[in-house]
């Protein structure tokens, strides 16, 4: 008999083409009249279009969202929201914009609407990740859960193929870890598997024909599912390593996920048989890690942490940070294992062959597993 706890979602989702044009209706449904529109500098034109759709309801804009949600940037955005007397936040963009919207909401209590332009998935979680002093921390805060997400496939057409590929692998990482998370449940497992199927089918087409609306829809659909199951369950080694490398060395978020995912899966494979079998259904290969490594190569994504600017001398420091306040993981983690994993990932080598693993007992539970989301 299975025993589990399922945590449902409260976010309203509107999915399709041209759904951005519903933003005035959705703002009105929240009872709001003064919106602050957030984005990164690269999404200023799309955010401006959203502002035009809102008319006088868009009372302010902030275009300075940055990767890993630096606290100093959040403080600037909060000042903008307060000076404009905003009563809601609208984030237009990928994980950087969505993350900033969450950070503003955490400090002001304002409701949020998201218009994702990437496959980051953060819009479907109640987790806030922030960076201060080169250290990235995450917290689970129900108050930062977005009220409404408008998935407009048309907004992703401008997403360059290379960026789409690494963002898609980031989404696949959410699905993969949901398969073996500490608090996985049948719904999350089904969503994660469906997300993998959709992303594996869509991403190669997006890479070859970035204006293919059906492929873009498939990738965005997979990203939504991956983000949804990410919001339901805790995470594991892969995300912990990515958080450490992003916060400590400033590595780009999606690219870091793309490089590390096969290595983390290879390490966990002996302790997560059902998850590996489900990955194998989506990516037939001798083993799940090899399948993911080959799929990333097919998409042409970066293969090594060295390419991303990771200093080789930082491997030992990163390994020590990973095991400090570590996330729950199906296979116990120590600094030596992480150093080995990072050394191969730094050099761009294939993931290590799976080694036998016989657990002595269940790993120590994470005291707050829900806090560890991306």
Taking 3-state DSSP, the helix, strand and coil percentages for the chain, each rounded to the nearest 5, stand at 55, 10, 30
The closest of 33, 30, 230 to 129, measured between CA atoms, is: 230
Does the domain spanning 161-371 belong to CATH 1.20.1090.10?
Answer: yes
Per-residue pLDDT in tens (0 to 9) along the chain, 374 residues: 667 766 667 899 999 999 999 999 999 999 999 999 999 999 999 999 999 999 999 999 999 999 989 999 999 999 999 999 999 999 999 999 999 999 999 999 999 999 999 999 999 999 899 999 888 888 889 999 999 999 999 999 999 999 999 999 999 999 999 999 988 789 999 999 999 999 999 999 999 999 999 999 999 999 999 999 888 887 899 999 999 999 899 999 999 999 999 999 999 999 999 999 999 999 999 999 999 999 999 999 999 999 999 999 999 999 999 999 888 999 999 999 999 999 999 999 999 875 555 554 443 333 333 333 34
pTM of the model: 0.90
Q: Which CATH number fits domain 12-156: 3.90.1150.10, 3.40.50.1970, 3.20.20.70, 3.40.1280.10?
A: 3.40.50.1970
* Confidence at residue 354, expressed as pLDDT on a 0 to 100 scale: 59
Domain-by-domain residue ranges, the chain?
12-156, 161-371
* Confidence at residue 372, expressed as pLDDT on a 0 to 100 scale: 36
**3-state DSSP assignment of residue 347:** helix
Residues 6 or more apart whose Cβ sits within 8 Å of residue 142? 126
The closest of 374, 236, 259, 247 to 317, measured between CA atoms, is: 247
């Amino acid at each position: 008999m299975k025993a589990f706890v399922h945590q449902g979602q409260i976010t309203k989702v509107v999915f399709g083409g041209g759904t951005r044009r519903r933003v005035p209706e959705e703002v009105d449904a929240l009872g709001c009249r003064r919106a602050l529109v957030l984005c990164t500098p690269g999404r200023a034109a799309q955010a401006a279009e959203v502002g035009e759709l809102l008319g006088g309801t868009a009372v302010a804009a902030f275009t300075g969202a940055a990767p890993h949600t630096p606290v100093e940037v959040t403080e600037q955005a909060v000042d903008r929201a307060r000076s404009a007397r905003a009563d809601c936040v609208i984030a237009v963009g990928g994980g950087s914009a969505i993350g900033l919207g969450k950070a503003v909401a955490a400090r002001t209590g304002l409701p949020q609407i998201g218009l994702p332009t990437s496959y980051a998935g953060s819009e479907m979680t109640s987790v806030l990740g922030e960076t201060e002093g080169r250290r990235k921390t995450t917290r689970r805060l129900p108050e930062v859960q977005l009220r409404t997400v408008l998935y407009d496939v048309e907004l992703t057409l401008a997403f360059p193929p290379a960026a789409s590929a690494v963002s898609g692998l980031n989404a696949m990482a959410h699905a993969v870890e949901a398969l073996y998370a500490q608090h996985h449940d049948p719904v999350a497992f089904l969503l994660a598997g469906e997300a993998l199927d959709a992303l594996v089918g869509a991403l190669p087409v997006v890479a070859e024909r970035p204006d293919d609306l059906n492929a873009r829809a498939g990738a965005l659909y997979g990203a939504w599912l991956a983000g949804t199951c990410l919001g339901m369950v805790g995470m594991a080694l892969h995300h912990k390593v990515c958080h450490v490398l992003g916060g400590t060395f400033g590595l780009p978020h999606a690219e870091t996920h793309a490089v590390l995912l096969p290595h983390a899966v290879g390490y966990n494979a002996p302790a997560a048989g059902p998850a590996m079998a489900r990955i194998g259904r989506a990516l037939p290969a001798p083993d799940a890690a090899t399948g993911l490594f080959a799929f990333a190569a097919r998409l042409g994504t970066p293969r090594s942490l060295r390419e991303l600017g990771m200093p080789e001398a930082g491997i030992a420091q990163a390994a020590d940070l990973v095991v400090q306040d570590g996330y729950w993981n199906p296979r116990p983690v120590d600094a030596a294992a992480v150093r080995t994993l990072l050394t191969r990932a730094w050099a761009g080598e294939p993931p290590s062959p799976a080694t036998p693993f016989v657990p002595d007992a269940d790993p120590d539970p994470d005291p707050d597993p829900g806090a560890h989301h991306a």
